[in-house]
Amino acid sequence: MPGGAVTAAAFAELSAELLRRLGELPRHDGFWYGIHGAMTVEGVDDTEAVLLARIRETVGTDVIVSTSMDMHGNVSRELAHVSDLITCSRMAPHEDRMETKEPAIWVGYAWADEPHNRAAVVVTGPSEAAVAQGAERLARGFWEARGAFAFVAPTGSLAECLDEARASSCDARPFFVSDTGDNPTAGGASDVTWGLERVLAHPELYVIITRLRKPYHHEHDFTGLALDPRRADVVVVKIGHLEPELFALSAGWKMALPPGGVDQYLVGLGHHRVRRPMFPFDPHMPDLDARPASSPVERAAGRAGRVAHRAPTSRTDHRDERRPADTSGSSPGQIPLRRNPVAVHRVRQRFARTGDRAPTPPAVRHSTRPSA
């Protein structure tokens, strides 16, 4: 679960403990790498791939490694190279885990300012040609759908959402408002007081202040504090989409788009390490042709067992297009695949609002649920 940058010392300690425990096991029939996919560590790019490469060294090259991720994880070519199987959920909340065992399409984690931040697909097939064709078809699908993405619920400013909630009829209560800009499950600090200031202007409302950074996903989160959300008129939660339990009891729902650490206004967050071109920073269609991209071992053997998309690697800060391209962050070598060819096709695009802070801009659709 994203929650700000992890210190290098903490990552080293946790990694060492995990590897020690794995090394103490007499044998490994397989390894399931169940991760969220949006971790950021101080001084480390592509944390999940770095850790899995170390795990692979510990468990051995003959052990099948299966990687499952949140749809918001960022997938690099390196991570795919050290995984035998890799997939992700399609919905958030993740109510479709069993249904999406095979598809592997990621929207990525938008708030990580890292080179592997982007949407991605993983394609397997019997030949390089088949893999490349499938990857290019999916890449074009990403690009063609860029204008069709939308929030899963009606949106507005925090003030607009609160006004609508308070004015709603009795039949539309409880009315939920999501404070998306400070969502702890997306990586927000959960201490932004933008919403608190507006809520305190209405003394008839209760305010829950927690000691720890915590999302409120379930009814018992409220009833454990002797508060019944079913009897409330308005419930404001620091999350994005409503989890199934809260969605079921809500009679009305809007997503507020206030500023915060995980602000939905992605264009204004100041990314400068992401690889370019990327939509919406770059409005023109990038080169979507698949190209062979083998690992050092495969190149030494004179064969390319993988196909991956390689677009221009300019990481110009979108705030100043006059800056020269940064080519200092080249990718490390990849670990060779021992089975099917796999294409990790990176579609360098991200979906966000453009222009002013309009209340109903396009963004990534996270669920197939109908809007409340």
Tens of pLDDT along 315-361? 233 333 222 333 333 333 333 333 333 333 333 333 333 333 333 33
For helices 8-24 and 47-59, angle between their N-to-C axes, nearest 10 degrees: 20
Q: Do 45 and 80 form a contact (C-beta atoms < 8 A)?
A: no
DSSP string, 9-65: HHHHHHHHHHHHHHHHSS--S-EEEE--S---BTTBSSHHHHHHHHHHHHH-TTS-E
Query: Mean pLDDT across the stretch 302-310?
Result: 39
| Encoded amino acid at 295, one letter | S
Tokens describing residue 19: 């590897």
Tell me which of 75-89, 224-238, 256-270, 348-362 is least confident: 348-362
Q: Do 75 and 331 form a contact (C-beta atoms < 8 A)?
A: no
Q: Looking at residue 22, what is its pLDDT?
A: 92
Write down the residue that tokens 């992401």 correspond to.
274
Look at residue 328 and give its three-state secondary structure. coil
Cα 41 to Cα 46, 120, 163, 315, 328, distances in angstroms: 9, 21, 40, 20, 19
Mean pLDDT of the chain: 74
Nearest to 257 by CA among 169, 349, 173, 150: 150
Nearest to 10 by CA among 51, 59, 71: 51
Whether residue 90 is predicted with pLDDT greater than 80 in this model: the reply is no
Tokens describing residue 32: 């399931």
Q: How confident is the model at residue 292 (pLDDT cuts 50, 70, 90)?
A: low
Query: Is 0.75 topped by the overall pTM?
Result: no
Cα 324 to Cα 108, 217, 268, 283, distances in angstroms: 26, 45, 20, 19
Q: How confident is the model at residue 74 (pLDDT cuts 50, 70, 90)?
A: confident
Please indicate whether residue 1 or residue 319 has the higher confidence score (pLDDT): 1
Q: How confident is the model at residue 199 (pLDDT cuts 50, 70, 90)?
A: confident
Distance CA 110, CA 128 (A): 30
Distance CA 77, CA 306 (A): 10
Q: Looking at residue 65, what is its pLDDT?
A: 92
Distance CA 124, CA 162 (A): 47
Nearest to 185 by CA among 213, 222, 158, 218: 213
Q: Looking at residue 195, what is its pLDDT?
A: 76
Whether residue 18 is predicted with pLDDT greater than 90 in this model: the reply is yes
Q: How confident is the model at residue 2 (pLDDT cuts 50, 70, 90)?
A: low
Cα 349 to Cα 78, 141, 328, distances in angstroms: 19, 12, 21
Other beta carbons less than 10 A from residue 86's beta carbon:
23
pLDDT digits 0-9 by tens, 131-187: 899 989 988 988 988 888 888 889 999 889 988 988 888 777 899 999 888 888 888
| Encoded amino acid at 111, one letter | W
Distance CA 259, CA 193 (A): 10
Strand order in the sheet with 85-88: 31-34, 65-69, 85-88
Q: Do 131 and 113 form a contact (C-beta atoms < 8 A)?
A: no
Distance CA 176, CA 199 (A): 13
Angle 67-2-371 (CA atoms, 0-180°, nearest 5)?
Answer: 90
